[in-house]
């Protein structure tokens, strides 16, 4: 019966590809609910919106790859999982049997209770935004996280009037230190973006966004990037435990030993956070898929990859390594005015995360330092004369 993978995103694709690399010879079925071969999401909010990339540039592999690798692509929605008979039911009523099931169901956009708002997660949504950007002049972006700011940067690069509305007192507040938030706010404002912090959305009507502060902003295009919710319903309805994601162990297995969960939908123990977490990143999707494939063929090991993330806005390349959970001290290496600096996060004297802006060497060193649990003092981190490679 082989392996069935639910989810045609990065994690699902990587599981199928990694299984073949691991020598798995049985049937692989990859079920996705979009009418495209699996594609990357990061380009959608960057080069694709700018018209510099097309769909083919985002495709993870051309259609011929799946034929040569004997990976069956099925376009459908999965209605239910029958764990007793080990089969999944499609919305068409068809059933597909499995020996092993991998849940790579991803996440979906959080929605606002207003009509006429665009969201960006799928290729179809990105295509609609790109088309509407061409005719728009006043663009309002709701949400000052990665997606919102990447969209704002693209719209401003296209010479649109852009307003960013963020309810928190600073940008990207959930994931970066205040010095990084302030740097990005300054860069967006220098480009002409109107950044509104501590702002509360009151309503949206034709060509206008209303705020509780009794103000409004013109808008012929409104785009929201206010986070995502993991797709856990299939697992929950099948009797599997869920929290902020589908609960798995360090091998990415659910309590049902024949079912794995990976990527944006999975919550698993993380040694760098010292707790169970759900991560939303390409790196996490790829590494968890690779680990799950090894476990399926009997060569599994606990998942313990160093988390890392990135965002590109204008000519700013922010790379993040580790998880700044519970940090109690930060130090800066380099000066923000130089447009090249890093922020080191420490928890009880131990390095737990590093944000690097236009300093790729710092990022690579940070991944090695965090992965090896190398001792590094705040004084060493802030001293540019200290060679981080020496410590690693």
Domains, the chain, with CATH or none: 3-40+60-108+229-296 (3.50.50.60), 111-224 (3.50.50.60), 317-391 (3.30.390.30)
Which residues lie closer than 8 Å to 386 by C-beta, 6 or more apart?
380
Phi, psi torsion values for 125, nearest 5 degrees: -65, -40
Provide the token pair at 382: 């802030």
Three-state DSSP at 379 gives helix
Q: Can you give the pTM of this predicted structure?
A: 0.95
Q: Tens-digit pLDDT profile for the chain (392 aa)?
A: 799 999 999 999 999 999 999 999 999 999 999 999 999 999 999 999 999 999 999 999 999 999 999 999 999 999 999 999 999 999 999 999 999 999 999 999 999 999 999 999 999 999 999 999 999 999 999 999 999 999 999 999 999 999 999 999 999 999 999 999 999 999 999 999 999 999 999 999 889 999 987 899 999 999 999 999 999 999 999 999 999 999 999 999 999 999 999 999 999 999 998 899 999 999 999 999 999 999 999 999 999 999 999 999 999 999 999 999 889 999 999 999 999 999 999 999 999 999 999 999 999 999 999 999 999 999 999 999 999 988 75
Three-state DSSP at 378 gives helix
Which residues lie closer than 8 Å to 237 by C-beta, 6 or more apart?
80, 81
Following DSSP, what letter does each residue of 138-195 receive, concatenated? EEEEE--SHHHHHHHHHHHHTT-EEEEE-SSSSTTTTTS-HHHHHHHHHHHHHTT-EE
What is the enclosing helix (H) or strand (E) of 386? none
Helix axes 282-296, 10-21, angle to 10 degrees: 40
């Amino acid at each position: 019966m082989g392996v069935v993978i639910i989810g045609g995103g990065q994690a699902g694709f990587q599981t199928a590809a990694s299984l073949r690399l691991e020598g798995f010879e049985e049937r692989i079925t990859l079920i996705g609910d979009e009418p495209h071969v699996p594609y990357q999401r990061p380009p959608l909010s960057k080069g694709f919106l700018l018209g510099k990339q097309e769909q083919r540039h985002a495709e993870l592999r051309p259609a011929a790859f799946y034929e040569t690798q004997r990976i069956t692509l099925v376009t459908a929605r999965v209605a239910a999982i029958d764990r007793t008979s080990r089969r999944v039911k499609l919305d068409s009523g068809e059933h597909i049997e499995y020996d092993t099931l991998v849940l790579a169901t991803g996440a979906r956009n959080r929605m606002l209770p207003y009509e006429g708002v665009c969201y960006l997660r799928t290729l179809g949504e990105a295509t609609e935004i790109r088309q509407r950007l061409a005719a728009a002049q006043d663009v309002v972006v709701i949400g000052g996280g990665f997606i919102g700011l990447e969209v704002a940067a693209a719209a401003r690069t296209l010479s649109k009037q852009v307003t960013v509305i963020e309810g928190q007192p600073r940008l990207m507040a959930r994931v970066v230190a205040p010095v990084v938030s302030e740097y990005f706010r300054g860069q967006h404002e220098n480009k002409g973006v109107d950044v509104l912090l501590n702002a509360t959305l009151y309503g949206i009507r034709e060509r206008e966004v209303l705020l509780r502060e009794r103000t409004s902003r013109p808008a012929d295009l409104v785009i929201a990037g206010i986070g995502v919710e993991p797709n856990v319903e299939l697992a929950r309805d099948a009797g599997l435990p869920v929290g902020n994601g589908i609960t798995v162990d360090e091998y990415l297995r659910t309590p049902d030993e024949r079912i794995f969960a990976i990527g944006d939908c999975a919550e698993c123990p993380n040694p760098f956070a010292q707790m169970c977490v759900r991560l939303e990143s390409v790196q996490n999707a790829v590494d968890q898929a690779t680990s799950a494939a090894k476990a399926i063929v009997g060569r599994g090991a606990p998942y313990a990859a160093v988390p890392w993330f990135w965002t590109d806005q204008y000519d700013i390349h922010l790379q993040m390594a580790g998880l700044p959970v519970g940090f109690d001290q930060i130090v800066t290496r380099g000066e923000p005015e130089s447009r090249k600096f890093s922020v080191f996060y420490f928890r009880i004297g131990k390095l737990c995360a590093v944000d690097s802006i236009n300093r790729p060497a710092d990022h690579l060193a940070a991944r090695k330092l965090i992965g090896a649990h190398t001792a590094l003092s705040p004084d060493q981190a802030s001293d540019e004369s200290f060679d981080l490679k020496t410590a690693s």
